[in-house]
């Protein structure tokens, strides 16, 4: 949902931080913000924490504002 999306990622040591910003430049703004952070759990896996606020997080909630925090395990990384 939107006309543009910007993603940026930073890998500092064993931690990885990424951010996504999305906006459609209309009123009301149906944009979104997503922040991801991963850090080591073991040699092959990482803990993963994600925060999402905005519209379009899933097809079910494409027209509803969602505020969500998730945790999990990642076996691969952005960088």
Quick: pLDDT tens for 47-72. Answer: 999 999 998 888 888 888 999 999 99
What domain range includes position 58? Answer: 4-74
> Tell me, what's the pLDDT at 30?
85
Domain contains 63 = yes
Q: Quick check: helix, strand or coil at residue 29?
A: coil
Domain contains 79 = no
Alpha carbon 11 to chain centroid, angstroms: 15
- Count of structural domains within the chain: 1
Domain contains 64 = yes
Comparing 3-7, 34-38, 64-68, 72-76, the range with the smallest average pLDDT is 3-7
pLDDT at 1 over 60: no
Domain contains 28 = yes
The pTM (predicted TM-score) of the whole model is 0.85
What value does the CA radius of gyration of the chain take, rounded to a whole number of Å?
14
Domain contains 42 = yes
Domain contains 51 = yes
Domain contains 37 = yes
> Tell me, what's the pLDDT at 66?
93
> Tell me, what's the pLDDT at 2?
55
């Amino acid at each position: 949902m939107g006309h543009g999306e910007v993603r940026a990622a930073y890998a500092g040591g064993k931690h990885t931080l990424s951010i996504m910003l999305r906006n459609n430049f209309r009123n009301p703004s149906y944009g979104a913000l997503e922040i991801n952070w991963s850090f080591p759990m073991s040699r092959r896996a990482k803990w993963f924490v994600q925060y999402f606020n905005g519209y379009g997080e899933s097809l079910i909630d494409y027209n509803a504002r969602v505020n969500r925090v998730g945790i999990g395990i990642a076996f691969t990384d952005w960088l």
